[in-house]
A and B are shown apart, each in its own frame.
Chain A
Amino acid sequence: MIYLVIAYAFAVAVLGGYLVWSLRQLRLLESKRPER
């Protein structure tokens, strides 16, 4: 059971972490982009 919990916790951390990080990067780069 412990391996099941660790496996899904890892997947959530990696997939969720990457998604949140990329959305934050996107906000940052969009805000730096000069207005047209």
Chain B
Amino acid sequence: MNRYEKAAAAAVALMVLAAGAIFLFAPTDALQGPVQRIFYLHVSSAIAAYGCFAVVLLGGAIYLRSENLAADRLARAGAVVGLVFTTVCLVMGMLWAKPIWGAFWTWDARLTSTLVLWIIYAGYLLVRRLAEPGRQAARFAAVVGIFGFVDVPVVHFSVTWWRTVHPGPVIVNDALPPEMLATFLFTMACTLALAAVMIAIRYRLETLADGPVPEPAKVVAAVGSRDAEPVR
């Protein structure tokens, strides 16, 4: 078992503990019943996605400033994992909405801005996949990643800026009983740990896929030779 597999096993163990807290420790909501338990992972996934997209922003900004390949890889890793968590957040939200609102989807500000967020980062990954790998693609993707992050505060504050069907903030408004709050905070910490492990694994995958970085002396020699391989 390598260190990535050990980290993944630890993250899975934490998520099993979080599931125990969600289903065995947290009380059942008096109004909504058991379906309210979707809340814990739905909101934690949203926060994990925000964190991942902040990594894309940071990686993109560092890449644009210094053309650091490691920063570009970090941004790529953050985008993939962020998209996975946004998908979980959106689908869990839809499954929670059906019994409570009577519909899977409504074009409400929070839902729509989250869908836009998903599309932005799916677009980011499409740019990475379709563009010829190299400096231009990395710079273009970094710009998409930086401007795409503008949607994160829009998603977050949509429930206070506009009148929406989606409930407003419950954590900062002290709207949760202590057992629910403790379960939520624990689930959020475990989900963030899982996201960090996923980013680390994805970063390693991107590093291996990129291949070894050419040493400066070899690059100079290769550029000087007529049958030189293109250097990425």
User: How far is B98's CA from A6's CA once the two chains are assembled, in angstroms?
Assistant: 12
Distance in angstroms between the alpha carbons of A18 and B45 in the assembled complex:
14
Identify which of residues 36-88 in chain B touch chain A, using a CB-to-CB cut-off of 8 Å. 37-38, 41-42, 45, 84, 87-88
List B contacts of A29 (CB < 8 A). 205, 208-209
Q: Which of B4, B34, B35 contacts A23 (CB 8 A)?
A: B4
CB-defined contacts of B194 to chain A, threshold 8 Å: 15, 19
By a CB distance below 8 angstroms, the chain B residues around A16 are: 12
**A3-B99, A26-B201, A29-B209 are known contacts. Are A19 and B12 too (CB-CB below 8 A)?**
yes
Report the minimum CB–CB distance from B32 to chain A (whole Å).
10
**How far, in Å, is A20 (CB) from chain B's closest CB?**
9
State which residues 1-36 of A face B: CB under 8 Å: 1, 3-4, 6-8, 10-11, 14-16, 18-19, 22-23, 25-26, 29-30, 33
The reply on B110 being an interface residue by CB < 8 A is no
Could you say which residues of chain A place their CB within 8 Å of the CB of B84?
A: 14-15, 18
The verdict on B204 contacting chain A, using a C-beta distance below 8 Å, is: yes
Residue of A nearest to B42 (CB): A7
User: Which B residues from 85 to 129 make CB contacts under 8 A with A?
Assistant: 87-88, 91-92, 95-96, 98-99
Q: Is the CB–CB distance between A30 and B98 below 8 Å?
A: no
B34 touches A8 (CB 8 A): no
Q: Could you tell me if A3 and B201 are in contact, using CB atoms closer than 8 angstroms?
A: no
Residues of B close to A10: CB separation below 8 A? 88, 91-92, 95
B11 to chain A, nearest CB (A): 8
The docked-state distance in angstroms from the alpha carbon of A6 to that of B96 is 10
Q: Mark A residues whose CB is within 8 Å of B.
A: 1, 3-4, 6-8, 10-11, 14-16, 18-19, 22-23, 25-26, 29-30, 33
25 examples of A-B residue contacts, CB within 8 angstroms: A3-B35, A3-B38, A3-B95, A3-B99, A4-B37, A6-B95, A7-B38, A7-B41, A7-B95, A11-B45, A11-B88, A14-B91, A15-B88, A19-B11, A19-B194, A22-B201, A22-B202, A23-B4, A23-B8, A25-B205, A26-B2, A26-B4, A26-B204, A29-B208, A30-B208
